[in-house]
């Protein structure tokens, strides 16, 4: 019995030795073949429907046209150096570079995706991407994203940078919320920061402004606005109000336009959203006023 176990262990050890030997031989063969391979070309893959950077610019970064890569031995090409060169571009989030045994260098680019275009009060113009980084505008492509302007103090140093002011962070958070909601993405055309440094939203439908205030409780605020849109505006018309104030957690305040002959302001109170009923449409409390 002990002899059988010993022979079995010897057999297992022998298989491991053979496998490791084969692997070493295979790696030596690959290294030997690689050492004789020269770069025959560069293939670039840029997924997505944004065109901040194209193959011509990638070729320029990698100096493909100057033949610093093509015709050069693959073993003398530093893949990590190429990736670092690409990622130094403001519009490239990540870059992966691979080599194959036929001498082809393959490049896969992941672009940054703007969610907001900001025009601050100093006439500086820049994007904020999906990760909250400031990036410059592009000469090649203009992203169709929400725009924000007005009394915005966030500065831009023409390089990739994080957001520094709380207001800029609130604007970005608001833009992300709007972008991810089909209804509000279709309705909200612009973000504006007033003199009180409060966020206002400019809708596509209606001549009113939506006073958001800050980015706290966004889901609750927009939920209340949706109820106001569904229950109040159909009764009085979309141009009845010049301001719809949703900055308070438990109410919507509609300030009537000058053309209205009714009272200057009307208030509709909405019960605060509760966690267990967040997906149910809440009812307006009409005891304050009637439309």
Q: pLDDT tens digit string along 77-128?
A: 888 999 999 999 999 999 999 888 888 889 999 999 999 999 999 999 999 9
Record the tokens describing residue 185, joined without a space.
């993405």
DSSP H or E segment with residue 285: strand 284-285
Q: Are residues 107 and 125 in the same domain?
A: no
| CA end-to-end distance (rounded Å), the chain | 95
Domain end, chosen from 111, 144, 159, is at: 111
Torsion, Cα 122 127 133 134, to 10 degrees, reads -30
**Torsion sign (Cα): 42, 45, 51, 53:** negative
Q: What is the mean pLDDT of the chain?
A: 81
Domain end, chosen from 58, 91, 111, is at: 111
Q: Are residues 68 and 86 in the same domain?
A: yes
Q: Are residues 149 and 133 in the same domain?
A: yes
Is 137 within a domain?
yes
Q: How many domains does the chain have?
A: 2
Q: pLDDT tens digit string along 164-182?
A: 999 999 999 999 999 999 9
What's the length of the chain?
291
65-69 LR contacts (CB < 8 Å, sep 24+): 69/39, 69/42, 69/105
Q: What is the pTM of this model?
A: 0.74
Q: Are residues 160 and 177 in the same domain?
A: yes
Q: Are residues 157 and 237 in the same domain?
A: yes
CB 107 within 8 A of CB 93: no
CB 190 within 8 A of CB 201: yes
Is 176 within a domain?
yes
Q: Are residues 175 and 142 in the same domain?
A: yes
Is 3 within a domain?
no
C-alpha of 246 from chain center: 26
Q: Are residues 167 and 244 in the same domain?
A: yes
Q: Are residues 153 and 71 in the same domain?
A: no
State the Cα–Cα distance between residues 96 and 112, nearest whole angstrom.
15
Is 62 within a domain?
yes
Q: Are residues 150 and 278 in the same domain?
A: yes
Q: Are residues 161 and 246 in the same domain?
A: yes
Is 291 within a domain?
no
Structure confidence at residue 229 (pLDDT) = 92
Structural domain boundaries enclosing 242:
114-285
Is 20 within a domain?
no
Structure confidence at residue 99 (pLDDT) = 87
Q: Are residues 225 and 263 in the same domain?
A: yes
Q: Are residues 54 and 189 in the same domain?
A: no
Q: How many C-alpha atoms does 3 have within 13 Å on its Cβ side?
A: 0
Domain end, chosen from 111, 139, 168, is at: 111
Residue 72 banded pLDDT, cuts 50, 70, 90 = confident
The CATH number given to whatever domain includes residue 66 is 3.10.20.310
Q: Helix-strand-coil percent breakdown of the chain, rounded to 5? A: 35, 25, 40
Record the tokens describing residue 154, joined without a space.
């966030």
Is 35 within a domain?
no
Q: What is the mean pLDDT of residues 261-285?
A: 41
Is 92 within a domain?
yes
């Amino acid at each position: 019995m002990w002899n059988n176990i010993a022979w079995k262990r010897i057999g297992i050890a022998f298989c491991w030795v053979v496998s490791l030997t084969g692997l070493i031989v295979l790696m030596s063969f690959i290294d030997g073949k690689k050492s004789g391979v020269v770069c025959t070309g560069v293939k670039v893959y840029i997924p997505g429907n944004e065109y901040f950077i194209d193959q011509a610019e990638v070729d320029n970064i990698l100096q493909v046209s100057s033949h610093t890569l093509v015709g050069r031995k693959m073993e003398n090409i530093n893949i990590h150096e190429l990736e670092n060169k690409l990622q130094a571009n403001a519009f490239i989030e990540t870059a992966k570079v691979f080599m194959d045994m036929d001498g082809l260098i393959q490049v896969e680019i992941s672009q940054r995706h703007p969610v907001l275009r900001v025009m601050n009060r100093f006439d500086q113009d820049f994007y904020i991407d999906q990760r909250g980084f400031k990036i410059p505008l592009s000469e090649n492509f203009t992203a169709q994203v929400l725009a924000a302007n007005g009394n915005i103090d966030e500065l831009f140093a023409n390089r990739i940078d994080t957001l520094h002011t709380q207001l800029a962070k609130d604007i970005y958070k608001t833009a992300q919320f709007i972008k991810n909601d089909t209804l509000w993405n279709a309705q909200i055309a612009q973000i504006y920061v007033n003199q009180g440094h409060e966020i206002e939203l400019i809708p596509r439908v209606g001549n009113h402004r939506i006073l958001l205030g800050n980015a706290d409780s966004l889901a609750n605020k927009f939920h209340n606005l949706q109820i106001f849109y569904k229950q109040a505006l159909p009764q009085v018309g979309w141009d009845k109000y010049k301001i719809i104030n949703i900055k308070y957690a438990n109410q919507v305040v509609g300030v009537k336009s000058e053309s209205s002959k009714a009272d200057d302001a009307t208030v509709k109170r909405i019960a605060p959203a509760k966690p267990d009923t967040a997906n149910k449409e809440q009812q307006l409390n009409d005891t304050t006023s009637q439309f």
